[in-house]
Each structure stands twice: as structure tokens, then as C-alpha cells.
């Protein structure tokens, strides 16, 4: 028998939701998240939940929204709501009249599509047609929209007890609402072909004249007015009149012509045309200047492109440095949500880190894709399958600033809190929020095992310099994308400019990390800093061509520069940490000069210098070239590894992104990045049946002196083997077999595990690390590791912990305590035990 709602009495669903919210709120205390730890939480939503324009209905919808997300927003200094009213055409056509009806995003599917004639609607995809999300959707006027904005602020402030702001959105594409302005009146501004010919507004387009009335232009638009001027003045009126607090530039708007693809104004897939690169750069920057001249105060937040800083520079001439440093009061882009659609998490992470290596202010955002209000999917429920890999991987990312401080994301954004039918299923915040809080609690506070020194300034100089070197810029990030996709562990980034500054002031800041960098130019400050770091005992890994390297670096690597070779080449590997049960990887690569920054030119001598190891070579049958070498024992303990890189990505006509060579036919040369870590004591190997099986991805964040490993296994049958310089990691809550000194795991689709114990000196055996209860005054944490057989064990406890170690002891732990001896500084702050047999219990 169904329950009947009683006025004024909460429903069963509301009571259950409130109870779960209270449980989550209590649980967050144990997670270590402190109040106001997050600068801002943004809840993005369409207008679809407002299915009635009745004031009470609007109020109730706002209340439900904020109550659902309160277990997270209680930790934020500020709460924002980003309203996806339409596609931004409501701004372009705004006349300043509150009674005017506005076109809003009341559709499912592409709003500006038209079904083919005589087509069967039931057989058409949502990219071929659109439907109303409900029968008789409400009519919304500009005045009513202003009322919704006011209600969101009023109700949100009351529930959250902190400021609530509301943002408006502009999207350059055809997806979200019908737009006669873009696709009938002013097609001249649609210069981008992202979703077909002439589908995306280009920020630096100019407008043809028209005589319509607009809020900022009551006499119409004059001929050849820049879009930045028109849009800026319209925003100034629209945002101010309706009570909005900021504007969001969606889908790459403001960053070039093509937001989603590998080609653009500079790269057409077959060649790089740098003749117009300065012109395009000036036009993009000109848009920002024109916009800000008309709309000077409202903050700008951005989606950015789906790609990376280097990819946008080399393909589209988009200068992120000019945008960041132009004084435009803008926030940097978050991680792209596109990985939810195509599973390209390597591209997501590389793009994210490239965009935050430098930032225009102090903070940067993380964004998560919960629902899609337009295309009939809810990623948390379907595309992700309730698996949190796209939470833990990007939340492991952190930037290091010029003072050497590790900075996690300062804001958390959710696209969106409503689905395509305007529903707000409470199961989504209830399930997503605990993972968000866990990821935040474990966010990096120290450099990771690998720190990417991103060449933010160098890439801009190489793009716009004389002569330009855009081929190298293009190659670098595409190569890194595929390296991460195939298992290279990377989630900490610092710009090369900040790296030089930090190494000068804190020479030992990165002693526990491998610094990863492009090959520095001869005589550059970066070259001096990296060579000095290696000479002091630091670990450096370089990638890319050596054509502009200095002689000192070439001598260290035992390299001379010869004539280039290219094409289909045979490969020789010195070692391979992967195990393939059915054959092995193909021992050949395909090296394309267009996407690989030229041919292979590095030669090694017949007799290698002392301490030099050749990791991989390639030959065309006549000449042999080095693909990767490593020089160890520089100074006391320093080392440099170099990987030339052959890009297994290539352009396929009509493709949006670069395609990838089949691993059944060609060796993925990006694997060499992971293999080269072996010279620094790291093993990240995979156990699989065939080369075609996709490799797992891994991020490693250092927090509270622990190692937090976050992984994504696109193929859950693939095993993983781990070893670090200090030993094999033993993950808490997981059993493992030691195999040849490495711990082995077969992990689920998404996983996030803490590691505080490493084992060395024991080649084999089964180990199990299980959390234990306290049961003792003064003890807040206890876990037990079983299966040791004469091992050397290193324990990484919190720096301030009063550590107690017990051998073969049980509750109440009155016997078996052993002294906690400090281990060698080269492995960080830890305790060491020798010849451990049986069970070790760790407590503090």
C-alpha cells in the first residue's frame, strides 16, 4: 500500500536522505576533512528541474538541491550554482525586457538538428533529432529567470550558512538550445567545424550588421564588430540585470577555433602552417581584451579545450600564457569531462596538468561528471558504472608553486546535479560525495615519485619564436598522453620556471622524486638547474629529441647526433618489466617525423662510457639509433635517463583525436618511459595474456607521509607488479604475492589504496596487510602485516606519530614490541626493521 504524503511531514524518502546525509557528515570527520577546506563547490544544473514556474515549486526545488549536496558543501567556504539556461543565445539576444520569453534548454538531443526527411523517429539517435524533456515544458521569461537566480541565492544561503553565487553559461556549439542568432542570423561567427561544418562560434569572429534591438546595442549591430565587443557588452547587461555573479565559457570558447580536435588553424593533419600563427595568437588575445573592455568586473570561469596546452599551441596557436597573464580575472580550466565519454583518461590528466602548471591566480578547479542534462546519460550511473576512477585519478593531481608548496584543487565542480529529465536522483550525491571527500582527504601534500616539470614558457617560446618549433611542441604532450594511458605513473606537476626557482632556494625539495622534463636547450637556465640537480644526487628523466641539447648533456648520455632515420624500424630492448603469456610485444616501431618531431638521430658509441646503460635502440637495417639510455652514478647517487620517444599516435583523416597504432602490430614506444624508471629503482610492470590488452593506469599521491595509489583497470584481468627504491609496496586492505621482489596485484576497475609498508630482501611469499582496531588508550591507528620471512621492512608513519612496532604479537600487545629505528634519509622519513619473520603490527 503506497504512503500518502502528509502536509508538513517529511516523506520516507526525505527522512532516509536526511539520515544518510547525517551519516556521511559524521563519516567525514574520520576522513580527516576539515571545515572550509575547499574554497568553492559549484553545483551545475539546467533549468529542467524547475518544471513549474510556481514560486513554491521553485523554492522547494532549490531546497532539495542544497539539502542533497550539503554533506559536501558544508566543507566549502563558498557555494556556487552554474545555470545551464540554454546555450548562451539568451545572452546574445537579450533586449533588456523582463517580459520577453527566452529560448531555454528544454530538449533531449541536439537542439539545432533536423531529422532527415521521411526518417523513422524511433530509429534516430539523439544526435540526429531532439525531443522535449517533458510534455508542455514551462514558458520562462527573463524576469522569471531572475527570480530563479534570486531563489537559489536566498535558499542556498539559508541552508549552507555561507555565500551562494550564481553563474551564467555560454556555449559556442549547437547542442543545448535552438539558436536562430548563431545558425540563421549570424552564421558568419560559426567558423569552427567541431560538430560539422560551421557549428561552433569562434571567439575572434566578426559580425555582420543587423538592425535588431539588443540590450547593449539598441540601434543594432554595426558591420564587422568583433564578437568579443558584442558579447562582452551583452554580458554586462544580462549578468547585472538578472543578478548573476560570473560567466562560464564552455567547450573551449576563448581558446581557439577547434576545442575538441587535434587539428586547427596551424595543423591540418598533414603539415604545420606557421605563417599565420602570430596573427591567430593576436586574434585570440584580442577577444579577451575586447570582452573585458565591455564587461570589466564579472569573473570568468572556463571549461577550456579537451586537449592540452601544447596541443592547443601547436594545432591552433592558442597562447594560454597570454590569456593567463593578461589580467582578465579568469579561473583556469578544470580537467576535461570528455574522458567520461571516450575513456581517454591519459589525455584528461595530461591536459589537466598542462593547464595548471601555471595558473592566473592561486587556485584551480576539479570537475566531475555526474549527469548529462542533454544526451540521456548519467555518467556516474552508466558510463562510469558507479566506479570512482575519474574521481581518484584527477584528484591525485597536484601542482607545485614557485615556493615549492604542493597545491591540490581549490574548487570542486559537478556537471550536473540533474539528469536529462530534470530529475535530481538522491542516490548520486549519496554515492559520489564519500569518494570526493576521501579523495580530498588523501590529496597530495608532498611531491609524488615523479614530478613533471612542464615547459609552459618554453612551449610558448618554441611556438611563437623565430624559427618556430611547433613540431616538438605537438609531439611532447601527445607522447605524454600515451605514456600515461599505458601506465606511466604521473600526477604531480610544476612549471619549469617554478622548478628553477624552487631548486635554487630548496635544493633538496625533490630528493625523493624523479624530475621529468623535456630535453632542455643548450645554455638554458633549465639545463643548468637539471644538471646541477643530478650532480647533487638528484634523479632526472628527459624525453624528446636532443637536436638542441648542450654538449655537456650529450656527453653524460654518451650521445652524438647523426643523420635521421624514420619509418618502420626494428627494436631492441635491454629489459622489459611486462610479462605476456601469449608471445610478446612486436619488436618494431613506426616512427613518423610529422608527429614525432623529426627523425631519430641519437647515436651511441661502440664502447659505452662507465655507468651508461642503453635501454632501447631502433634500426632501419643500415643505421642504428638510440631510443632510450640512462646514466647512473652521477655524483654520489644521481642519475639521468633519456627517452627519445616515438609517438604511436597519428592523424587519421576525419578523426577528432589522433589514432593509435595497434599494439598487436607495433611496439608502443611510450612504454619506454615506464621501463626507464627501472634505473631509478621503480618497477611498474603488467602481467597479461596478449599485447592488445589495455594497460592499467596509476597515480601516486604522497599525503601525511603515506603513498596513496589510485588506479584504473580498463581490463581487470591484467595483473600489476610494483617495486619502489625502498622495496615492494604492501597496500593496506589487499593481499599480495611477492614475486621476484615485487608485490603483485590484480585490481578492480577503480581502486584507491594506502601504502605505509615496503618490503625488501624477501623474494617471494604471500603478504597480507589488514586494518586492526585500536582497543588501547593513546592508539588511533593500527594495522597488521603477515607473511614476512627474513625481510627488511620500512614503515612510513605520519611525521608526528608516536610509532609502536610489534613482532608476532597480538591483542592486547603487551609483548613483542621492538625499537623503532630511523631508516636512511635517501628513502624519506621512515622506520626500518631487519630480518622480520612472521607478523608485524604497526600502531600510533
User: Do 668 and 630 fall within a single domain?
Assistant: yes
Q: Please identify, among 413, 439, 465, the residue that sits at the C-terminal boundary of a domain.
A: 439
More confident residue, 71 or 6: 71
Is 169 a member of any domain? yes
Helices then strands, counting H and E runs in the chain, come out as 19, 41
User: Do 472 and 568 fall within a single domain?
Assistant: yes
| CATH number of the structural domain spanning residue 590 | 3.40.50
Which DSSP helix (H) or strand (E) runs through 712?
strand 706-712
Q: Please identify, among 621, 647, 680, the residue that sits at the C-terminal boundary of a domain.
A: 680
Check pLDDT > 60 for residue 492.
yes
Cβ atoms of 338 and 344 within 8 Å: the answer is yes
Is 687 a member of any domain? no
Is 4 a member of any domain? no
Average of per-residue pLDDT across 88-98: 98
User: Do 503 and 428 fall within a single domain?
Assistant: no
User: Do 614 and 756 fall within a single domain?
Assistant: no
Q: Please identify, among 414, 439, 464, the residue that sits at the C-terminal boundary of a domain.
A: 439
Supply 698's cell numbers. Answer: 596509476
Average of per-residue pLDDT across 202-224: 97
User: Do 539 and 601 fall within a single domain?
Assistant: yes
pLDDT over 90 percentage in the chain: 89
User: Do 601 and 626 fall within a single domain?
Assistant: yes
Residue 9's pLDDT band, with cuts at 50, 70 and 90, is: very low
Is 5 a member of any domain? no
pLDDT digits (tens, 9 = 90+) for 541-563: 999 999 999 999 999 999 999 99
pLDDT digits (tens, 9 = 90+) for 226-269: 999 999 999 999 999 999 999 999 999 999 877 788 998 899 99
User: Do 527 and 653 fall within a single domain?
Assistant: yes
User: Do 669 and 761 fall within a single domain?
Assistant: no
With the CA atoms of 279, 280, 284 and 287 taken in that order, what torsion angle do they form, in degrees rounded to the nearest 10?
Answer: 50
What is the C-alpha separation between 69 and 48, in angstroms, rounded?
A: 18
What is the C-alpha separation between 412 and 718, in angstroms, rounded?
A: 32
User: Do 732 and 615 fall within a single domain?
Assistant: no
| CATH number of the structural domain spanning residue 84 | 3.20.20
Residue 414's pLDDT band, with cuts at 50, 70 and 90, is: very high
Residue 636's pLDDT band, with cuts at 50, 70 and 90, is: low
Domain count along the chain: 3
Residue 634's pLDDT band, with cuts at 50, 70 and 90, is: confident
Q: In what order do the strands lie in the sheet with 450-454?
A: 406-407, 398-400, 492-495, 450-454, 514-518, 539-543, 638-643, 624-634, 612-619, 567-573, 588-591
Give the count of beta carbons closer than 10 Å to the beta carbon of residue 687.
19
Is 3 a member of any domain? no
User: Do 549 and 660 fall within a single domain?
Assistant: yes
pLDDT digits (tens, 9 = 90+) for 642-667: 999 999 999 998 888 999 999 999 99
Is 423 a member of any domain? yes
Residue 176: predicted pLDDT: 92
Residue 444: predicted pLDDT: 98
Is 602 a member of any domain? yes
The radius of gyration computed from the CA coordinates of the chain, to the nearest angstrom, equals: 28
Check pLDDT > 70 for residue 298.
yes
DSSP code string of 124-183:
--TTT-EEESSSSPPP-BHHHHHHHHHHHHHHHHHHHSS-EEEEEEE--SSSSS--HIII
Residue with cell 575519474: 390
Residue 35: predicted pLDDT: 52
Q: Domain range holding 268?
A: 12-393+402-439
What is the C-alpha separation between 257 and 201, in angstroms, rounded?
A: 8
Nearest to 518 by CA among 596, 558, 459: 459
Helices 277-294 and 227-242 meet at what angle, rounded to 10?
Answer: 30
User: Do 435 and 456 fall within a single domain?
Assistant: no
Is 444 a member of any domain? no
User: Do 424 and 456 fall within a single domain?
Assistant: no
pLDDT digits (tens, 9 = 90+) for 121-141: 777 888 888 999 999 999 999
Amino acid at each position: 500500500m503506497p504512503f500518502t504524503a502528509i502536509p508538513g511531514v517529511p516523506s520516507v524518502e526525505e527522512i532516509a536522505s536526511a539520515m544518510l546525509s547525517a551519516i556521511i557528515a559524521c563519516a567525514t570527520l574520520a576522513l580527516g576533512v576539515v571545515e572550509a577546506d575547499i574554497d568553492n563547490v559549484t553545483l551545475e544544473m539546467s533549468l529542467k528541474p524547475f518544471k513549474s514556474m510556481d514560486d513554491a515549486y521553485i523554492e522547494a526545488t532549490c531546497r532539495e538541491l542544497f539539502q542533497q549536496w550539503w554533506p559536501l558543501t558544508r566543507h566549502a567556504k563558498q557555494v556556487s550554482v552554474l545555470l545551464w539556461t540554454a546555450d548562451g543565445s539568451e545572452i546574445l539576444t537579450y533586449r533588456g525586457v523582463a517580459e520577453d520569453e527566452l529560448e531555454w534548454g528544454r530538449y533531449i538531443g541536439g537542439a539545432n538538428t533536423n531529422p532527415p526527411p521521411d526518417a523513422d523517429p524511433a530509429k534516430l539517435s539523439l544526435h540526429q533529432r531532439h525531443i522535449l524533456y517533458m510534455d508542455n515544458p514551462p514558458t520562462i521569461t527573463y524576469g522569471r529567470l531572475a527570480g530563479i537566480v534570486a531563489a537559489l541565492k536566498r535558499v542556498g544561503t539559508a541552508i549552507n550558512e555561507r555565500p551562494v553565487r550564481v553563474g551564467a553559461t555560454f556555449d559556442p556549439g549547437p547542442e543545448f538550445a535552438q539558436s536562430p542568432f548563431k545558425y540563421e542570423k549570424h552564421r558568419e561567427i560559426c567558423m569552427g567545424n567541431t560538430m560539422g561544418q560551421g557549428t561552433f562560434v569562434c571567439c575572434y569572429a566578426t559580425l555582420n550588421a543587423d538592425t535588431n534591438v539588443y540590450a547593449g546595442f539598441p540601434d543594432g549591430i554595426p558591420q564587422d564588430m568583433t564578437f568579443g565587443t558584442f558579447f562582452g557588452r551583452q554580458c554586462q547587461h544580462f549578468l547585472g540585470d538578472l543578478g548573476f555573479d560570473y560567466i562560464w565559457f564552455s567547450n573551449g570558447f576563448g581558446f581557439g577555433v577547434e576545442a575538441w580536435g587535434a587539428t586547427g588553424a596551424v595543423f591540418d593533419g598533414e603539415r604545420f602552417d606557421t605563417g599565420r600563427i602570430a596573427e591567430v595568437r593576436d586574434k585570440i588575445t584580442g577577444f579577451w581584451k575586447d570582452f573585458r573592455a565591455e564587461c570589466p568586473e564579472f569573473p570568468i570561469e572556463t571549461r577550456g579545450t579537451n586537449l592540452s596546452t601544447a596541443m592547443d599551441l601547436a594545432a591552433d596557436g592558442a597562447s594560454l600564457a597570454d590569456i593567463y597573464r593578461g589580467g582578465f580575472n579568469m579561473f583556469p580550466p578544470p580537467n576535461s569531462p570528455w574522458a567520461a565519454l571516450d575513456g581517454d583518461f591519459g589525455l584528461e590528466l595530461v591536459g589537466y596538468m598542462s593547464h595548471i602548471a601555471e595558473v592566473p591566480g592561486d587556485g584551480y578547479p576539479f570537475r566531475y561528471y555526474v549527469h548529462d542534462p542533454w544526451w540521456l546519460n548519467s555518467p556516474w550511473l552508466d558510463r562510469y558504472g558507479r566506479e570512482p576512477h575519474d574521481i581518484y585519478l584527477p584528484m591525485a593531481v597536484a601542482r607545485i608553486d614557485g615556493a615549492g608548496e604542493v597545491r591540490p584543487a581549490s574548487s570542486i565542480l559537478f556537471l550536473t546535479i540533474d539528469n536529462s529529465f530534470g530529475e535530481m536522483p538522491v542516490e548520486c550525491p549519496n554515492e559520489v560525495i564519500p569518494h570526493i571527500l576521501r579523495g580530498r582527504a588523501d590529496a597530495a601534500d608532498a611531491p609524488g615519485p615523479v614530478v613533471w616539470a612542464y615547459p609552459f614558457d618554453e612551449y610558448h617560446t618554441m611556438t611563437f619564436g623565430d624559427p618556430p618549433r611547433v613540431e616538438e611542441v605537438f609531439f611532447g604532450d601527445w607522447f605524454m598522453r600515451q605514456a600515461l594511458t599505458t601506465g606511466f605513473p604521473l600526477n604531480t606537476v610544476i612549471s619549469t620556471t617554478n622548478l628553477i626557482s624552487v631548486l635554487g632556494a630548496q635544493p633538496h625539495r625533490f630528493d625523493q622524486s624523479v624530475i621529468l622534463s623535456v630535453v632542455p636547450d643548450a645554455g638554458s637556465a633549465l639545463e643548468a638547474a637539471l644538471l646541477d640537480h643530478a650532480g647533487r644526487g638528484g634523479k632526472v628523466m628527459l624525453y624528446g629529441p636532443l637536436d638542441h641539447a648542450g654538449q655537456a648533456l650529450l656527453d653524460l648520455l654518451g650521445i652524438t647526433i647523426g643523420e635521421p632515420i624514420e619509418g618502420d624500424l626494428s627494436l631492441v630492448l635491454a629489459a622489459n618489466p611486462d610479462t605476456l603469456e601469449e608471445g610478446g610485444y612486436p619488436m618494431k616501431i613506426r616512427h613518423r617525423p610529422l608527429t614525432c618531431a623529426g627523425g631519430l638521430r641519437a647515436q651511441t658509441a661502440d664502447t659505452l662510457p662507465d655507468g651508461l646503460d642503453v635501454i632501447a635502440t631502433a634500426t632501419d637495417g643500415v643505421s642504428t639509433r638510440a631510443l632510450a639510455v640512462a646514466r647512473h652514478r652521477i655524483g654520489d647517487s644521481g642519475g639521468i635517463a633519456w627517452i627519445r620517444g616515438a609517438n604511436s599516435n597519428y592523424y587519421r583523416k576525419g578523426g577528432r583525436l589522433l589514432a593509435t597504432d595497434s599494439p598487436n602490430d607495433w611496439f608502443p614506444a611510450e612504454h619506454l618511459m615506464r621501463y626507464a624508471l627501472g634505473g631509478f629503482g621503480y618497477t611498474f610492470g603488467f602481467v597479461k595474456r596478449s599485447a592488445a590488452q589495455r594497460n592499467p593506469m596509476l597515480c601516486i599521491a604522497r599525503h601525511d607521509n603515506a603513498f596513496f595509489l589510485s588506479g584504473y583497470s580498463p581490463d581487470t584481468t591484467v595483473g600489476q607488479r610494483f617495486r619502489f627504491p625502498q622495496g615492494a609496496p604492501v597496500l593496506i586492505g589487499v593481499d599480495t604475492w611477492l614475486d621476484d621482489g615485487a608485490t603483485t596485484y590484480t585490481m578492480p576497475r577503480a581502486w584507491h589504496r594506502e601504502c605505509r609498508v615496503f618490503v625488501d630482501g624477501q623474494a617471494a611469499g604471500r603478504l597480507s596487510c589488514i586494518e586492526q582496531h585500536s582497543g588501547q588508550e593513546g592508539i588511533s591507528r593500527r594495522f597488521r602485516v603477515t607473511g614476512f620471512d627474513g625481510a627488511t621492512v620500512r614503515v612510513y608513519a605520519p611525521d608526528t606519530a608516536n610509532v609502536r612496532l610489534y613482532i608476532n604479537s597480538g591483542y592486547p600487545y603487551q609483548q613483542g614490541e621492538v625499537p623503532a629505528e630511523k631508516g636512511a634519509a635517501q628513502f624519506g622519513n621512515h622506520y626500518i626493521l631487519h630480518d622480520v619473520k612472521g607478523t608485524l603490527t604497526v600502531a600510533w
